[in-house]
Structure 1
Amino acid sequence: MKKGPKISEAEWEIMKIVWTNKFCTSRQITEAIEKNTEWKPKTVKTLINRLVGKNVLGYKEDGRKYIYYPLIEEAECIKEANQSFLSRVYDGAIKKMLVSFIKENDLSKDDIEELKRILDERE
C-alpha cells in the first residue's frame, strides 16, 4: 500500500472543511475554523501552506484569490490514519484494537447487531 502524507490534528481540521466544501478560499476556511477554535488567520494560512506542500491541497488562482481543493480523498486519508494508529498503538493487531474498543465503550443493541452483520459478511 502506498503511504500517504502524515497529516497533523490541526491539518485535519482544515481538511474537514475543504472536503465538505470541495472548493474554498482561505477566508472561507478561516471563517469556518473560527467557529470551533481561536486560531488566527495567519495560523490557518500556515496550515494551508503545509497541506499544499504535502500535496494534500491544490489551488488555482482566481484573480487575487486562491481557491483550494483536496488532492486526496477523505477516505484515503482516513485509511492511512487508521493504519498508522493500528501500527503505533496496537502493533498492527486489529483483534487487540477491536477487543479494546468493544470492552471500553458502551455499545447499543443496534451497534452490536451491525457488528455481528459485518463479521458474518466477512466469513
Structure 2
Amino acid sequence: MKISTAESVVMGALWAREPLSAEDIAADVAEGQGWSDATVKTLINRLLNKGAIAAERDGRRYLYRPLVAREAYVEAESQGLLDRLFDGKLAPLVSHFSQTGALTPEDIAELKKLIEGFEP
C-alpha cells in the first residue's frame, strides 16, 4: 500500500495517539501544513479507502485508528528509498551522507554502536 507524504502526516497524528476524530486530526495537523479541514477529511477518506485506517462510530462522529503499524510503514518506505536511489544497498546511502557532511559526530558514534552489535 502506498501512503502519500500528505497522508503520512495524518497517519503520524494517529500513530501519536489514537483514536482521533476528524476534528482532532485537523487540530493536530491542519494549521502546520496550511490545510483546511476539508483537505484533512479528504486525506482521511483516502486512507480509509486504502485500508490504512479504520473508522468506528462514536455518537454523531467517527473515531479513526491506524491499521498500518508505524514500524511497517517506516520499513517499507526505507526499503523503497534504498531500492530507488541506492540499488537496495545501505552502504552507499551512509557513504552519501558522510560525503555531504550530513553525519554528525553523534550520528557516527551511534552507527559504530549499531555495527558493533552485529559483529560476533
State the Cα distance separating 1:109 from its structure 2 match.
Answer: 2.9
TM-score norm. by structure 2 comes to 0.92
**Cα distance per residue 1:67-89 (max 9 Å; x no partner):** 00011110110000001111111
> Which residue of structure 1 lines up, in the alignment, with residue 64 of structure 2?
68
Task: Name the structure 1 match of 2:22.
Answer: 26
The number of residue pairs the alignment matches comes to 119
Where do 5+ consecutive residues of structure 2 fail to align? none
- Correspondence 1:117 to 2:113: yes
| Cα displacement (A) at 1:47 | 0.5
CA positional deviation for 1:92: 1.0
Distance in 2 separating the partners of 1:105 and 1:10: 29
Q: 1:95 aligns with which of 52, 67, 91?
A: 91
Indicate the SS of the match to 2:54: strand
1:35 is displaced (CA, Å) by: 3.1
The alignment partner of 1:83 has SS state of helix
Specify whether residues 11 and 105 from structure 1 end up closer, same or farther in structure 2 by C-alpha distance, changes over 3 A only.
farther
1:8 aligns with 2:1: no
Larger displacement relative to structure 2 (102-111 or 76-85): 102-111
Q: Which runs of 5+ in 1 are unaligned?
A: none
Q: Whole-Å Cα distance in 2 between the matches of residues 47 and 35 of structure 1? A: 15
Q: Which has the higher contact order (CA 8 A, sep 6+)?
A: 1
Structure 1 residues 86 and 80 mapped into 2: Cα distance closer, same or farther (>3 Å)?
same
Letter in 1 for 2:117: E
Q: CA deviation at 1:18?
A: 0.6
Q: Name the structure with the higher helix share.
A: 2
TM-score, normalized by length of structure 1?
A: 0.90
CA distance in 2, matches of 1:8, 1:109: 32
Q: What aligned pairs does 1:76-91 form with structure 2 within 5 A after superposition?
A: 76-91=72-87
Give the match for residue 54 of structure 2.
58
Out of 40, 43, 47, which is 1:47 matched to? Answer: 43
RMSD (Å) for aligned C-alpha atoms? 1.2
| Runs of 4+ displaced beyond 4 Å | none
Residues 52-71 of structure 1: per-residue CA shift (max 9 Å, x gap):
11111011001110000011
